[in-house]
Structure 1
């Protein structure tokens, strides 16, 4: 039995973290026996992050990409039937979602004061009140410092929307009336892109970014189809 170590469910999502959602969806697609174990402290995990999976022999595999690689090595092909060209396109869409769109979500959640007020309680409410303020102020400073160094944190909301808009257009164009990015059944790209877009939509306090996805008939329906298919 595989154990998925993940952040808890929240805001209508499998997990607060879209990468944990991705890992959960990959496990569901692979049809292997598994269970989830929610945790608030990833520091003891390899790489100090979530998600991670624990195997029966005690091995722990961290990171959603490594989890995918393990599941593929043990027999599941998430991209069965895709041509080499489509597999290449799939990788590009995954990287676009995880290395670009995700950080716009992060800026929304950690940088927007209204969202941060909710996030602070949801993510860190388990901490004793005496230390919660100190810990969360440092974490927020660190996260926003990273996004600032990337450049996104230096942009206005309008500039960020303009930067991410071509990504949303590309996803809609790739769907092109299909249920999923590469046809009628979900693939690895859907586990990633669907999870990231779902996270964007699930901002606890609506933002221009979350409304952009939620009000897009194509993207919002796609997110719902992904969640239903992985249920």
Structure 2
């Protein structure tokens, strides 16, 4: 599972990327709650894939967090803890990221061990004939007012971006570029020599375009 924290490597898809003019962006917020349909099954599988073992007893990230919510006094029972988790620690929203007119879904996982200095893992789910499937994702510090979305991004595909990473997909493979805070939150302009050497001129052009672009068209650089 790859999360968008580095520039995409060289290759056909990278070399074919063009820094076309990006159309107007709109702010995108994710809503709290349990994702609908069978998308929750994918999310629950991801939450339970992170397992722990203490004194021979096995558990997972979901069960651990339900116990933590009760221990913190936020709930008295497992049912109440699950309601709290959905209200404050899971958020989701629809968006069309591949331009085919069918919405994908972003799901923010605001619980340990899915959160770190870069934010919390946010899954991108794609709907297929077999149901929702996880494709890739990015990190978000919070689900509200932390995304910009446009239907016409690089290479004329829809694009979604956080305050550091832009992500788009053409239905075949993911494309992403880090444009700010690529080496931590202390320096928004820093980028490693490794990333620079791996980036194509087109990718660097997209990076500069987004680096200098106002956040969701509000007139200020994020």
- TM-score, normalised to structure 2, is 0.28
Q: Give 1 or 2 for the bigger CA radius of gyration.
A: 2
- TM-score, normalised to structure 1, is 0.28
Q: Which has the higher strand share?
A: 2
Higher relative contact order (CA 8 A, sep 6+): 2
